[in-house]
Chain A
């Protein structure tokens, strides 16, 4: 429903939002029931996920065809950019909650449990044996938790992964230059390189998880260190996965001949997202793996 020929663009009505809401309700409601042993719940959750994926592709497909059909103008593009930028900011705040939890445990709750400050009685009455340590390998009450035998060493896989992600940021920028300069081959190679680096990163991450669970007994149930470790790296890995899928979609659009040097919002949005994921990883590498002492 566009309003004025030469000024504003308001898109047509759409069923996708309601489809998305239904999918989301099935996915989350089903998941919640499956947590309490409902087999039907698991089925509902899968159905919900399928609906959500269908919605994302349908909705984005419509946007892409409208964009390629020339319906959008610069103002629409700018709205998209503002929207994406602040969406990424909200993601930053989501990660901040988990980083905050990690710093809080490390700087406050663990020393307090060991009696620091005015907490002598806390320590004496609750777990007198406990002494503060970080990364927390020995929990206040080790019996109920998976006690790790060792931790993931920063200068092994995590360092390699840091390199991979930093390189992927560079290859993506290289591809972006190619897009500006209309060098199609370089653009495609740059995208393929970025995607490959992302996939290798994920492979290493999966390997590291298997190693942590299988060999080190470092699990989500390993006290608060295990909790922050797996939720931070887990959500990060989830974002890398999403980012990789989005990069693949962008690559397919490039192959179909979409995007011009002036007009490539989707490319930019995904690039921003990728760099954001990259920056979060740096935070993880530094604070989760490296400066743990």
Chain B
């Protein structure tokens, strides 16, 4: 697949070599075509969004601390849940993964940069504008969107505030950015991979992102279609989601979840990749079942397009439809289970040590599995009739997204940060932070299972008295978890500014992979020459060379 670089264009080249470092000044960040610059921009953007979305979550938990309406109006509460979800999904988790892909894929495949560097810059620089447009809706007349992150019609069409049209265009821009980012990753993996690296030599993070990129280019345009139909239904008199004209509000849900379910895998496949990089390093064993991991990822990706209506079991679909979507959904847990077992087996009888990234990875495996199991419960129609739209669903997706996706990002940042900046973080503080976050996150989300089973509906600012205790506990956990991010920010900034310098190229002694053959801190330009096949094989973290 990769063009052999030796045969490349000795002929056409008339360009002098000006192999310089970063441009001085702030404009560096605006104009940059460097994959690491762009990746860092993504990471900082994602972190700021995480804090903004987190602040909204604090408002939600504050209001839910006690029964009764105390601090905010119900309408504002609904804006908070809506914006929190949208910002976390589109502003924090997805950009953070794209950022990690940008920083890590070129070094992992022995390439120089991303394949389409200018487009890469554009993918990032759309985000601040889209994010600002999304946030600006909160300050408009009639308030921001308050229909939930899933923006079901007719709440988002007939009954929505004017600001919804800004929301729609923000989604268009975010989608455009994601599609370009995904195209770039596909082109990079296919075309800039060192010629000595076969597909089945690729590290799992590269594999999972490669597959995720296909999910993105197949799913995001469908979302663009959905918001476009919303736009014309709202402003130009079409009736896609209006039964009086022959359309159907439930059709909105079908289109949305045709995007939405692949979207949740877009947010978890790269996480699988990160964890599959970290665990072999600290278990000091090659990854167990590498090829089954690749095939499992691919099957999850394919299946993710045929299970969407498990979000809609209660919309009055025919029983045959419920049966099909139930079985298809449960089928996904097979490849997901394969992954969990492979991680556990990799650790089995390994010489384990528990550095910070490993702690996060292990926490991921345990806590993500809890989320997967509650997902299984939700996938069973008779059970979902009870659980749907309760806090049980909220517990489920926060286990997979916070202790799954977000934890993997934190794990990845701790794993690669010393390589990026050349300094080690304060391990003592990081340990405190780990336990603080892991305990508080469970205090926050675990009681939500009980609340949901007891019937507490989601997306409400008030609740009946029997839910009071668990809500109080969850809120306390929530505030603690929220605070832990201040500590995380401190640890990262402190590491970059004053951390103890790391000299070894291989920051973690048993880490394998081409990225660890580059000097620390990582040079501005990644591989300027192709690494040879022997090196690639030697650095493979999944075969015992």
Provide the residues of chain B in CB contact with A118, threshold 8 Å: 318
Q: How many A-B residue pairs have CB under 8 A?
A: 280
| A3 adjacent to B239 (CB under 8 Å) | no
How close is A30's CB to chain B, nearest CB, in angstroms? 10
Among A13, A109, A231, contact of B32 (Cβ-Cβ < 8 Å): A13
Q: How far is the CA of A202 from the CA of B12 in the complex (A)?
A: 40
| B125 adjacent to A18 (CB under 8 Å) | yes
Q: Does B190 count as interface, using CB distance less than 8 angstroms?
A: yes
B103-134 vs A, Cβ < 8 Å mask (1 yes, 0 no): 00000000111011111011001101110110
Provide the residues of chain A in CB contact with B201, threshold 8 Å: none
Provide the residues of chain A in CB contact with B219, threshold 8 Å: 93
Among B5, B112, B166, B238, contact of A231 (Cβ-Cβ < 8 Å): B238
Q: Which of A79-87, A150-158, A188-196 contacts B (4 or more CB under 8 A)?
A: A79-87
| A100 adjacent to B247 (CB under 8 Å) | no
B210-253 vs A, Cβ < 8 Å mask (1 yes, 0 no): 00000001111110111011001101111110111111101100
Q: Does A169 count as interface, using CB distance less than 8 angstroms?
A: no
Q: Does B428 count as interface, using CB distance less than 8 angstroms?
A: no
Q: Does B10 count as interface, using CB distance less than 8 angstroms?
A: yes
How close is A157's CB to chain B, nearest CB, in angstroms? 23
Known A221-B236, A227-B240; further 5 A-B contacts with Cβ < 8 A: A10-B34, A11-B117, A13-B121, A83-B119, A227-B238
Q: Which of A64-72, A171-179, A265-273 contacts B (4 or more CB under 8 A)?
A: A64-72
Residue of B nearest to A72 (CB): B12
How close is A239's CB to chain B, nearest CB, in angstroms? 13
Give the size category of A's interface with B: 35 or more
Query: Can you spell out 19 A-B residue pairs with CB atoms less than 8 angstroms apart?
Result: A1-B525, A2-B17, A4-B112, A5-B17, A7-B528, A10-B34, A13-B33, A17-B121, A18-B31, A69-B14, A74-B3, A75-B5, A82-B190, A90-B221, A97-B255, A98-B225, A101-B240, A108-B248, A140-B245
A83-124: which residues lie under 8 A (CB-CB) from chain B?
83, 86-87, 89-94, 96-98, 100-101, 104-105, 108-110, 112-113, 117-118
Please indicate which of the listed interface residues B3, B27, B237, B528 has the most CB atoms of chain A within 10 Å of its own CB: B237
Tell me whether A8 and B113 are in contact in the complex, defined as CB-CB below 8 angstroms, given that A73-B12, A75-B5 are known contacts.
Answer: yes
How close is B105's CB to chain A, nearest CB, in angstroms? 14
Q: Which of B87-95, B178-186, B291-299, B353-361 contacts A (4 or more CB under 8 A)?
A: B178-186
How close is B72's CB to chain A, nearest CB, in angstroms? 26
Q: Which of A21-29, A207-215, A248-256, A277-285 contacts B (4 or more CB under 8 A)?
A: A21-29
Q: Does A31 count as interface, using CB distance less than 8 angstroms?
A: yes
Tell me whether A223 and B246 are in contact in the complex, defined as CB-CB below 8 angstroms, given that A74-B8, A118-B318 are known contacts.
Answer: yes
Q: How far is the CA of A90 from the CA of B14 in the complex (A)?
A: 35
Provide the residues of chain A in CB contact with B459, threshold 8 Å: none
B1-50: which residues lie under 8 A (CB-CB) from chain A?
3, 5, 8-10, 12-15, 17-20, 23, 27-28, 30-34
| B218 adjacent to A93 (CB under 8 Å) | yes
Provide the residues of chain A in CB contact with B115, threshold 8 Å: 79, 82-83
Please indicate which of the listed interface residues A69, A93, A98, A230 has the most CB atoms of chain B within 10 Å of its own CB: A93
Q: Does B165 count as interface, using CB distance less than 8 angstroms?
A: yes
Provide the residues of chain A in CB contact with B226, threshold 8 Å: 97
Provide the residues of chain A in CB contact with B5, threshold 8 Å: 7-8, 75
| A10 adjacent to B117 (CB under 8 Å) | yes
Q: How far is the CA of A136 from the CA of B162 in the complex (A)?
A: 30
Tell me whether A4 and B251 are in contact in the complex, defined as CB-CB below 8 angstroms, given that A70-B12, A71-B14 are known contacts.
Answer: no
Provide the residues of chain B in CB contact with A145, threshold 8 Å: 239, 244-245
Please indicate which of the listed interface residues A17, A108, A139 has the most CB atoms of chain B within 10 Å of its own CB: A17
Provide the residues of chain B in CB contact with A11, threshold 8 Å: 33, 117-118
Provide the residues of chain B in CB contact with A15, threshold 8 Å: 30-31
Please indicate which of the listed interface residues B179, B233, B239, B240 has the most CB atoms of chain A within 10 Å of its own CB: B239
| B238 adjacent to A94 (CB under 8 Å) | no
Q: Which of B168-176, B365-373, B505-513 contacts A (4 or more CB under 8 A)?
A: B168-176
Q: Does B254 count as interface, using CB distance less than 8 angstroms?
A: yes
| B30 adjacent to A74 (CB under 8 Å) | no
| A10 adjacent to B187 (CB under 8 Å) | no
| A73 adjacent to B251 (CB under 8 Å) | no
Tell me whether A32 and B169 are in contact in the complex, defined as CB-CB below 8 angstroms, given that A2-B17, A75-B3, A105-B248 are known contacts.
Answer: yes
Tell me whether A18 and B30 are in contact in the complex, defined as CB-CB below 8 angstroms, given that A83-B116, A90-B179 are known contacts.
Answer: yes
| B20 adjacent to A35 (CB under 8 Å) | no
| A231 adjacent to B221 (CB under 8 Å) | no
| A223 adjacent to B32 (CB under 8 Å) | no
Tell me whether A31 and B169 are in contact in the complex, defined as CB-CB below 8 angstroms, given that A90-B217, A224-B246 are known contacts.
Answer: yes
How close is A78's CB to chain B, nearest CB, in angstroms? 5
Q: How far is the CA of A105 from the CA of B241 in the complex (A)?
A: 10
Q: How far is the CA of A276 from the CA of B229 in the complex (A)?
A: 22
| B14 adjacent to A1 (CB under 8 Å) | no
Provide the residues of chain B in CB contact with A24, threshold 8 Å: 126, 129, 173, 176
Q: Does B534 count as interface, using CB distance less than 8 angstroms?
A: no
Provide the residues of chain A in CB contact with B381, threshold 8 Å: none
Q: Does A141 count as interface, using CB distance less than 8 angstroms?
A: yes
Q: Does A12 count as interface, using CB distance less than 8 angstroms?
A: yes
Q: Does B530 count as interface, using CB distance less than 8 angstroms?
A: yes
Q: How far is the CA of A28 from the CA of B27 in the complex (A)?
A: 25
Residue of A nearest to B179 (CB): A90
